[in-house]
Amino acid sequence: MVKNIAVIRGDGIGPEIIKEALKVLDRVAEIFEHKFNYIDVDMGGCAIDKYGDPLPQAELDKCLASDSVLLGAVGGNKWNDVPGHMRPEKGLLRLRAGMGVYSNNRPAKIWPQLADASPLKKEIVDKGIDFIIVRELIGGIYFGEHKTVDGTATDVLVYSEAEIERIGRIGFETAQKRNKKLCSVEKSNVLDSSRLWKNVMHRLASEYPDVELTDMLVDNCAMQIVKNPSQFDVIVTENMFGDILSDEASQITGSIGMIPSSSLGATSCGLYEPIHGSAPDIAGLDVANPIGTILAAAMMLRYSFDMPTEADAIENAVSAFLDSGYRTADILSGDSTKKVGCSRCGDIIASFI
C-alpha cells in the first residue's frame, strides 16, 4: 500500500523526534511491504524565518493533498516578539481549520514499565490505565459569543445536533477499533446542551450495536479518572470538558514525553503529533524523547490508514524497548542503566519491529 504523508518537522526538538518516527515508519514499510512517501512542509517558526508566514497557503495545500499529516512541534522563544497573528502557533490553528479536524483524540496509557512514575496509588495503577479521550475541538463555549457589558460577563455554549453527531460517530468508531466500550460525558442534570448531547448519543447507539454506551456526568468522570481509570476505554465529550479531562488524564500516566495525539475530521486524513512542545532548551542535544511522536505515527497507521497490525508492531516495539531497560533522560529511573539519546532510541525501537 502506498501512502503520502505530509511531514512537519517544525521547531526546537521537532526535527529530531520526527526523524526517529520516520525511521520507525521506514522499518514498518520494509517489513509489511508498504511505501510511505514523505512530503516536507514548513510550519511554525521555521516558516516565519523562511516565508514571513507561519503557514503559507502553498504549505497548507501540501497537507490537504496528503493522506495524513505527522507533526513534531512548533514555536520557541525566538519568535516571542513577532505580532500575535504571526506567532508560530497560529500556523497550527490555521492547519486545524484548513483540514477541518473537529475531533482531538488523546490516549491516556501507562506503560507497566513506568508505573512508578504515576502519581496514583500502586493498587490503582496495577489495574491498568489505557483509554482515549475524544474531544470535540471546534465548537462549544470556546467558539460561542463572549462579551462583558457593565460588569457582567457572558460566554455562550452552543452545540447543534449535527456537531454532536459527527463527534459522536468518531467516538463510536474509535471504540469499535478498541474494546467496544464508549462513555459519553456531559452535564445533563444542569445544561440543555448536555441534554441534547445525551439524546443524540443514545440515538446513534442503535447504529453501533457492538459498542456498549454508558453516560457519566463530567464531575463524576473527573473523580473516576483518578479513582478507577481502568474502567474506561473511550470517553467522548464536548470541547471544554475534554480540554480539562484530557489534561487530567495526561498527568496520571506520569510522563508527557510518551503521549501521542490525533485530530480527525470528516475524512481519513488526520493530524498526528505528540502532546509536548518544542523544548528549545534541549534542541540539538540528542536528549529528547521521540516515543510520543513514534506512537503518534502508530495512531496514524491505526486510525487513518487502517493498519492495525502495523500499529500494534510499533506499540509492541516500544514496550520491548522499555522491557529491555532502555530509557531516555526524561523517564530515567534510579535503577536503569541503559540511558539512550533521541537517535539511539529510534534505532532500538525500529530494530524491535
Which residues carry out catalysis?
142, 187, 219, 243, 247
3 state SS of 3: strand
Stated as kind and residue range, the H or E segment containing 227 is helix 218-227
| Beta-strand pair 103-109/130-136 | antiparallel
**Following DSSP, what letter does each residue of 121-185 receive, concatenated?**
-HHHHTT--EEEEEEE-S-GGGGS-EEEETTEEEE-----HHHHHHHHHHHHHHHHTTTSEEEEE
Cα 122 to Cα 213: distance, rounded to the nearest angstrom: 29
Cell of 104: 482531538
Residue 7 φ/ψ, nearest 5 degrees:
-115, 115
Q: Is residue 296 within 8 Å of residue 70, measured between CB atoms?
A: yes
**Alpha-carbon distances of 106 from 93, 155, 181, 248, 271, rounded to whole Å:** 17, 26, 16, 11, 12
Please state, as a whole number, how many other Cβ atoms lie within 10 Å of the Cβ of residue 52: 10
Q: Is residue 9 within 8 Å of residue 15, measured between CB atoms?
A: yes
Cα 39 to Cα 269: distance, rounded to the nearest angstrom: 14
163, burial (CB in 10 Å: exposed 0-12, middle 13-18, buried 19+): buried
